[in-house]
Amino acid sequence: MQKTLAQVKVNVNEEGYLTDFNQWTKEIGAEIAKEQEVEMTDKNWKVIDYIHDKFRKEEALSIRGIKNSGVINIKEFYKLFPGGPLKKATMIAGIPKPKSCI
């Protein structure tokens, strides 16, 4: 299905995750963050950059991986992306929901 984010039509699945990473832009990520009630700061964007890097390398994402990333500690991760940090962060990043979140 399609949804308009940042004045652009994007393809999303029934949960709201982008189905085509190539459609992602920072503006679209910011719109998704607003919908998820996440206020994006520089630290949030560093986490998104880390997630993008892992995704491009086709490496699995997990809470443990974020914890060991050196980018953020786990308490901060939960604080920056409250109510399901890995789900929200990956949705904002425009990548598929990690298998560890299913």
pLDDT digits (tens, 9 = 90+) for 46-95: 999 999 999 999 998 888 888 888 889 999 999 999 999 999 999 999 99
Contacts of 58 (CB under 8 A, 6+ apart): none
Which listed residue (12, 77, 101, 102) is catalytic? 101
- Asked whether the predicted pLDDT for residue 13 surpasses 90, the reply is yes
Task: Report the pLDDT value the prediction gives residue 77, as an integer from 0 to 100.
Answer: 94
User: What phi and psi, each to the nearest 5 degrees, are found at residue 72?
Assistant: -155, 150
Separation of first and last alpha carbons in the chain: 20
Residue 15: give the domain boundaries: 2-101
The helix (H) or strand (E) run that includes residue 102 is none
Q: Which residue has the tokens 């190539």?
A: 22
Helix (H, G, I), strand (E, B), or coil: what is residue 4? strand
Q: Hey, what amino acid is at 87?
A: K
Supply the mean pLDDT for the chain. 93
| Residue 69: per-residue pLDDT | 86
Q: What percent of the chain has pLDDT over 90?
A: 78
The tally of domains found in the chain comes to 1
Question: Is pLDDT above 70 for 102?
Answer: no
Please state the pTM of the whole predicted model: 0.93
Please give the backbone phi and psi of residue 4, each rounded to the nearest 5 degrees, phi first.
-100, 120
Q: Annotated catalytic, 101?
A: yes
